[in-house]
Structure 1
């Protein structure tokens, strides 16, 4: 807390690591999928998981601002709920066994070109992605791959030098309409992408350390070629 004249300014809490019981809580939640159990253990959830995650988001947002990366977030807007929407799902379990958040250009969950952080019992990872982009943007990205292949290949080469590869999640089996004549294998793979993303696996043991912030900042800087490529395309449409 800092006093500025008569005004009190509350400073963001610096991330110090998730609690030691963060993942054990998520594991136990798999066996106790009831509101009663969750409410009884809400204090543990808030202390070990939700509050540290909020600290992580806001610490990252401060670091990204200082680096001029254009990714914003806060503990209120960036984090996803641990409750599941089961209205149309066959799986009626009310709670996820993970917690996640997005840092984005405008700080909301609806903009594109984002950093996604996922802490779960199955895995922990971060991804920088254009995921399920609006149709006109996805079309523009595919057009850019074909019309300016040297820019696309330079971006891919830069990612590889930084130890990253574009993901192939949900890649189409066939070339989409309008791209049937793309002959180069690498360009064909790219235009079949439904998403443009790179991922970084997080060792679950590392989530308890404040050094996770440095790890995620380093990943985002290594992924910057994709961030810059996608933003340049967005600026053209």
Structure 2
């Protein structure tokens, strides 16, 4: 597991984001991809100690293509400048909450949650939070969780979602358009020899949040 190899490749592809350079240096990509899968394998093994659903998940099934979909983007550069892996018992395209590892120079992070939920599922998750607000708050306001994940969601409604009272004391939790959480870490965090253990420790604090979401999402997927 050689994290500097991954970061070096990503810096190089960021500076030379064209097919000619990539094709001439595809060996660098293959080496970086291999090292990233090694990292994910080590993380999966450690997550499996506290989340049995992850046992048997293969690193190669968690990674995303390096090739960008430029069809609807003004940015036509062909390659991503990060490597991401979504560790999810239901697969990386699942609505279920999983564990996401993202390596990108100056923007490395760990994350989790459920993104772009279908409307019926999103409404059900909001209802579950509304009906069980004390339990939800005990999870997301727990200092052990907040030290890594201070904010729930990225994008928010301006008003209360339809069907919920505007004067609900914790309406901000229902305004989330997605239920995600993020933990940014410096590159040095990932280059330490014990990084898989430290990553797993952070994800262990996230698991109650994932369990809360997945209890509802189970009914839809």
Q: Which moved more, 1:107-116 or 1:90-99?
A: 107-116
Distance between the aligned counterparts of 2:81 and 2:41, measured in 1? 23
* Mapping for residues 137-156 of structure 1, pairs under 5 Å: 137-156=121-140
Distance between the aligned counterparts of 1:107 and 1:71, measured in 2? 10
1:176 aligned onto 2:161: yes
> 1:205-233, CA deviations, whole angstroms, 9 ceiling, x for partnerless residues?
23223312111100111112201211222
1:166 to 142, 146, 151: 151
Max Rg structure: 1
Gaps of 5+ in 2: none
Conserved? CA contact 1:112–1:133, under 8 Å: no
1:195 to 170, 178, 182: 178
Gaps of 5+ in 1: 1-15
Distance between the aligned counterparts of 1:235 and 1:206, measured in 2? 34
Cross-structure match for 2:210? 227
Distance between the aligned counterparts of 2:188 and 2:133, measured in 1? 40
> 1:52-83, CA deviations, whole angstroms, 9 ceiling, x for partnerless residues?
11112222222222323423632322101111
How many matched pairs?
217
1:104 aligned onto 2:88: yes
Q: Post-superposition shift, 1:122?
A: 4.0
Cross-structure match for 1:8? none
Distance between the aligned counterparts of 1:195 and 1:133, measured in 2? 7
Instruction: Flag the structure with more relative contact order, 1 or 2, with Cα contacts below 8 A and sequence separation at least 6.
Output: 2
Distance between the aligned counterparts of 2:160 and 2:6, measured in 1? 43
Which structure shows the higher helix fraction? 2
Conserved? CA contact 1:79–1:102, under 8 Å: yes
Q: Which moved more, 1:83-92 or 1:142-151?
A: 142-151
Please give the secondary structure, in 1, of the residue aligned with 2:75. coil
Please give the secondary structure, in 2, of the residue aligned with 1:155. helix
Q: CA RMSD in A?
A: 2.0
> 1:185-223, CA deviations, whole angstroms, 9 ceiling, x for partnerless residues?
4x2101100111222222112322331211110011111
1:87 to 71, 92, 109: 71
Distance between the aligned counterparts of 1:183 and 1:71, measured in 2? 39
1:45 aligned onto 2:29: yes
Cross-structure match for 1:124? 108
